[in-house]
Amino acid sequence: MSYSPDAIASITLSSITLPLNTPISDAKVFTGRQRPMTEVVFLFAEIRTEQGHEGVGFSYSKRAGGPAQYAHAKEVAGAAIGEDPNDIEKLYTKLLWAGASVGRSGVATQALAAIDIALYDLKAKRADLPLSKLLGSHRDSVRTYNTSGGFLNASLDEVKEAASASIEAGIGGIKIKVGLPDNAEDLRRVSAIREHIGDVPLMVDANQQWDRTTALRLGRRLEDLDLVWIEEPLDAYDAEGHAALAHALDTPIATGEMLASVAEHERLIDAHACDIIQPDAPRVGGITQFLRLLTLADRAGLDLAPHFAMEIHLHLAACYPREPWVEHFDWLDPLFNERLETRDGRMLVPERPGLGFTVSEQARAWTTDAVTVTHD
Ligand SMILES: [Mg+2]
């Protein structure tokens, strides 16, 4: 059978507001930089082709940026209409240059991420393969750890209860937030959780709110607790500070979730700023960009623990040569009809084609804006 070119017929963009059950606080709330988070805004892209193939992808924003991502995607999506959906690299470049005057990172490329991810979903579905298999995977399951039970708005007892429930559910690690105004309270919480979970892998996340001195002092106090990593001890753009800390401590340093392009990550990698890199596919502009980043990270000998959006990152982490971690967040569950399975500390890569998710009726009900783009 010879190849017959297909063409993108339409792209439906939707802005969907997901409410959170409890307002969420990390260290950025305690330093007064942000308010507790009450919702996450998603940009969904659903692509249909002339031959009847379909793909769905999403991007997201927290606290601000949702309307901007949606508006930018709406402006540039027309450039993809009529193009062969298989030529993802070409399409990414075309969409990028359609909006390049506002920059090639941040909101502009996060708007493209939803379309780029939908193109990968479509391509894998057309091949009748899970996305990880289309890309070429190293494993059928990935170590997973829970974050959602360890926020700073939760009391120590609540964090303990959530950790027990996660371990019971087959999740392999527990991450808790640190960065409270009282450093002693941070140490007390981390020690108590270490004691509570025994030798289950434990990570901490300061969400960029320590200065260099505090990070070094607390990092030293935490060395005995055998942490898998200390996450975002410093400002996300302080590559030199992270590098000095990574050099000074035995505990691995993880960072990268806040960076908004491959170029920003490249600086982190070049500075030897971390042991574990934490890119986020929607934030760096989609899977095309994320895959470029994985090549750089592997060459630099880094471990991988992608940030958030396990529905996408599970497939991408499965393709990384070194044994990665994927972050378990059940927040997005209501948006989809399918659920991911965890067993023996690992998340199982779904065998369904593509990403393996269909958009739920609940997500449709939470849609605040939608448009179908059919021409340039
Ligand atoms: Mg984090």
Residues 167-178 pLDDT 10s: 999 999 999 999
Q: At CB < 8 A and 24+ separation, what contacts does 151-156 make? A: 151/24, 151/25, 151/26, 151/177, 152/25, 152/26, 152/27, 152/29, 152/30, 152/177, 152/179, 152/180, 153/22, 153/23, 153/24, 153/25, 153/29, 153/36, 156/188, 156/189, 156/192, 156/193
Q: In the structure, what pLDDT confidence band is assigned to residue 376 with cuts at 50, 70 and 90?
A: confident
C-alpha 51 – ligand 1 centre gap (Å): 41
Please compute the mean of the pLDDT values over residues 295-315 and round it to a whole number: 98
Structure tokens at 106: 């941040």
Token pair 């989809």 is at which residue?
336
Answer whether 0.95 is exceeded by the pTM: yes
Q: In the structure, what pLDDT confidence band is assigned to residue 3 with cuts at 50, 70 and 90?
A: confident
**Which residues surround the ion ligand 1 when the cut-off is CB under 5 Å?**
205
C-alpha 334 – ligand 1 centre gap (Å): 22
1 pLDDT exceeds 90?
Answer: no
Mean per-residue pLDDT over the chain, rounded = 97
CA separation for the pair 186, 220 (Å, rounded): 13
C-alpha 99 – ligand 1 centre gap (Å): 29
Residue 168 has a pLDDT of: 96
107 pLDDT exceeds 80?
Answer: yes
Share of the chain above pLDDT 70, in %: 100
C-alpha 61 – ligand 1 centre gap (Å): 14
SS3 label, residue 160: helix
Instruction: Give pLDDT tens digits for 221-231.
Output: 999 999 999 99
C-alpha 260 – ligand 1 centre gap (Å): 14
CA separation for the pair 117, 306 (Å, rounded): 15
Catalytic residues: 177, 307
C-alpha 191 – ligand 1 centre gap (Å): 19
In a 10 Å sphere around its CB, with 0-12 CB exposed, 13-18 middle and 19+ buried, how is residue 91 labelled?
buried
Instruction: Note the helical H segments in the chain.
Output: 27-30, 66-76, 88-98, 107-126, 131-135, 156-168, 183-197, 212-222, 239-248, 262-270, 281-284, 287-299, 310-317, 361-365
Please compute the mean of the pLDDT values over residues 29-45 and round it to a whole number: 94
Instruction: Give pLDDT tens digits for 282-294.
Output: 999 999 999 999 9
- Residue environment code for 117-135, b if the CB has 16+ CB neighbours within 10 A, otherwise e: bbbbbbbbbbeebbbbbbb
